[in-house]
Amino acid sequence: MSYYDYILIGSGIAGLYTSLLAREQGSVLIITKSSIDDCNTKHAQGGIAAPIGQNDSPELHFQDTIAAGDGLCDEEAVRILATEAPNRISDLVDLGVPFDTIDGQIALTTEAAHSRARILHAGGDATGEHIEVTLSKRVRSMGIRVLENCLATEILVKNGKAGGVRTFDCNTGKVEEFESGSLILATGGAGQLFRFNTNSDIATGDGIALAFKAGAEITDMEFFQFHPTALRLPGVAPFLISEAVRGEGGILRNVEGRRFMQDYAPEGELAPRDVVARSIVREMEKTDSDHVYIDVTHLPRHLTLTRFPHIYRFCLDHGLDITQTPAPVAPAAHYMMGGVKVNTWGETNVAGLFATGEVACTGVHGANRLASNSMLEVLVFSKRITEKSSRGAGGQAADQDKRQAVHHKLHQWPSGKAVKAPSHAEVQTLLWDRVGIMRCRESLTEAAETLAAWQKILPAPTDRPSYELSNMVLAGRLIAEAALLREESRGAHFRTDFPQSSPDWLYHLVFTEGQ
């Protein structure tokens, strides 16, 4: 069995950036179920938030993040995020990320719920792609071993410590095991659980399932962010229309052409994402339509083409010139705020196991992620993982975590529900219809019970699709049951039967496996 000081599972910005840092400490292996270039990071248009402007400060960034998190942010983690942000941006510049500049200085733009212009971009709306390409080139040049088309199927735990991983080669079916000093989950999110989503096909909740079955704590799964504006064209997969489009003056109109956001929020189009998403849903219901419009036809054409070249070209390729015609949009699943519970050093409650990026829950996002904080979170906490692991830390988080939490096991539902094994599409439809933007006890109970029944009858996985299906069902159960337990509305979690937030729910729901 081969040994590596660090094994990274996942090859998005979290996996690549962490591997580059880890390579300075020892031997590194990256395991990725697709290719090194296929990840959610490439789809990230909005940019990276950092308080580097002259009229900005870590304190202001801290306050904006806390406000967006709706009472559930970990203040220590947010303070670390905002304070360490400028140094991590410097790291990306040193690595060669070509941030957009004006007169030699990094250009900064505004997004919803930020009180200052603090969003850095590269290539306009191609930030994620530029970062991904830069980091992947550096990983290749450093000779870091990458196993592509290789699925991690089990975290190997012995005497309470994660000491390696079992893998499945998606091309040959070969099963192999690798030993690790530090095992770092960087598998990304779970947007593919929902029928309409902005995520890459790889985002099937694999890291959540792996960690849960290894005994790690999973928290805040009820908080799943739905992006308000994904392109909605017949026969076209949802395509993200960046938050920054509204930041630059894009207007939301219903199918009758009327601007409507002021009816729902004083901030209008710049209200927090969850508010905008729910407002769009309500407006679609009022007008009996499956979309609204984002209108940038009043903006200078050159601004749209230079600021949003990818969005412009994608729409044009599908017959829509957004400088002339408003684009049809609707909400879509976008980002998982919850995940594998970690402390401020990226440690889980399982010794030797760390998590970073969207699969991890650092407590930074609380109930509702502030736009463009996600890539910054990767940079800040990945750096801290390698700092801590280089000192021989054991990966024990429980004694260091200050978040108030209530622990649960997955509910043992009655076994009377007759079901057949689902397809990927059936899982996606169930989660979208029953555990989507608007939730209630009846729909959540139906979803949780169905997912539990599916989990019982799923055959043992034999290939990548069946492993992914198994992971989707388990991750879906965690989302549905957390949403069912939280009898209030807070941040991205909205219950029509409990439409108000309650101070009685200012704590986190944590799930662990076991009886």
pLDDT for the residue numbered 393: 52
Which CATH number characterizes residue 249's domain? Answer: 3.90.700.10
Q: Which domain holds residue 328?
A: 224-334
402-411 per-position pLDDT tens digit: 789 999 999 9
For 43, half-sphere exposure in the C-beta direction (CA atoms, 13 angstrom radius) is 21
Q: Which two tokens stand for residue 471?
A: 């992971």
DSSP sequence for 448-478: HHHHHHHHHHPPPP-SHHHHHHHHHHHHHHH
Q: Is the pLDDT of residue 483 over 70?
A: yes
Q: Is the pLDDT of residue 45 over 60?
A: no
Q: Are residues 181 and 352 in contact, defined by beta-carbon separation less than 8 angstroms?
A: yes
pLDDT for the residue numbered 110: 84
Q: Is the pLDDT of residue 241 over 50?
A: yes
As a whole number of angstroms, the distance between CA 352 and CA 214 comes to 12
Dihedral sign from CA coordinates of 237, 242, 246, 249: negative
Q: Is the pLDDT of residue 328 over 70?
A: yes
pLDDT for the residue numbered 371: 86
Q: Are residues 149 and 34 in contact, defined by beta-carbon separation less than 8 angstroms?
A: yes
DSSP sequence for 352-385: TEEE-GGGEE-SSSTTSPPTT-HHHHHHHHHHHH
pLDDT for the residue numbered 506: 97
pLDDT for the residue numbered 244: 84
> At 232, phi and psi to the nearest 5?
-120, 90
pLDDT for the residue numbered 405: 97
Q: Which two tokens stand for residue 443?
A: 């729909």
Residues 6+ apart with CB under 8 A from 89: 48, 50, 52, 106, 120, 379
Supply the DSSP symbol for 515.
Answer: -
SS3 (DSSP) at 341: strand
Q: Which two tokens stand for residue 20?
A: 């580059």
As a whole number of angstroms, the distance between CA 364 and CA 33 comes to 27
Chain center to CA of 130: 18
Residue 351: inside a domain: no
Closest CA to 389 of 34, 5, 107: 5
Percent of all residues in the chain with a pLDDT value above 70, rounded to a whole number: 96
Q: Which two tokens stand for residue 267?
A: 């901030």
Q: Are residues 63 and 48 in contact, defined by beta-carbon separation less than 8 angstroms?
A: no
pLDDT for the residue numbered 268: 95
**Rounded mean pLDDT, 102-123:** 91
**Rounded mean pLDDT, 418-445:** 96
Q: Is 273 a catalytic residue?
A: yes
Place of tokens 């054409």: 301
49-96 per-position pLDDT tens digit: 999 999 999 999 999 999 999 999 999 999 999 999 999 999 999 999
Residue 310: inside a domain: yes
pLDDT for the residue numbered 297: 98
Residue 37: inside a domain: no
Continuous segment of H or E residues that includes residue 330: strand 327-336
pLDDT for the residue numbered 46: 63
- Is 242 buried (19+), middle (13-18) or exposed (0-12) by CB count in 10 A? buried
Q: Is the pLDDT of residue 398 over 50?
A: no
As a whole number of angstroms, the distance between CA 225 and CA 111 comes to 16
Residue 356: inside a domain: no
Residue 110: inside a domain: no
Q: Which two tokens stand for residue 498?
A: 């409990």
pLDDT for the residue numbered 270: 87
pLDDT for the residue numbered 515: 44
Q: What is the tally of structural domains in the chain?
A: 1
Supply the DSSP symbol for 397.
Answer: -
Residue 293 has a CB neighbour count (10 Å cut-off) of: 22
Q: What is the mean pLDDT of the chain?
A: 94
Tell me which of 76-85, 270-279, 410-419, 490-499 is least confident.
Answer: 410-419
For 85, half-sphere exposure in the C-beta direction (CA atoms, 13 angstrom radius) is 28
CA 515 to each of CA 158, 215, 218, 453: distance values in angstroms, whole numbers, following the listed order: 20, 12, 16, 17
Percent of all residues in the chain with a pLDDT value above 90, rounded to a whole number: 87
Residue 248: inside a domain: yes
Residue 412 has a CB neighbour count (10 Å cut-off) of: 8
pLDDT for the residue numbered 397: 47
> At 345, phi and psi to the nearest 5?
-110, 15
Dihedral of CA atoms 351, 362, 356, 340 in degrees, nearest 10, equals 60
pLDDT for the residue numbered 40: 47
Greatest Cα pair distance, the chain, in angstroms, is: 68
273, 278, 384, 464: which is the annotated catalytic residue? 273
Q: Is the pLDDT of residue 318 over 80?
A: yes
The radius of gyration of the chain's CA atoms, rounded to the nearest angstrom, is 22
pLDDT for the residue numbered 331: 98
Residue 308: inside a domain: yes
Q: Are residues 8 and 31 in contact, defined by beta-carbon separation less than 8 angstroms?
A: yes
**Rounded mean pLDDT, 274-288:** 96
- Is 190 buried (19+), middle (13-18) or exposed (0-12) by CB count in 10 A? buried
Residue 41: inside a domain: no
Place of tokens 């990983």: 139
Supply the DSSP symbol for 171.
Answer: T
As a whole number of angstroms, the distance between CA 485 and CA 222 comes to 9
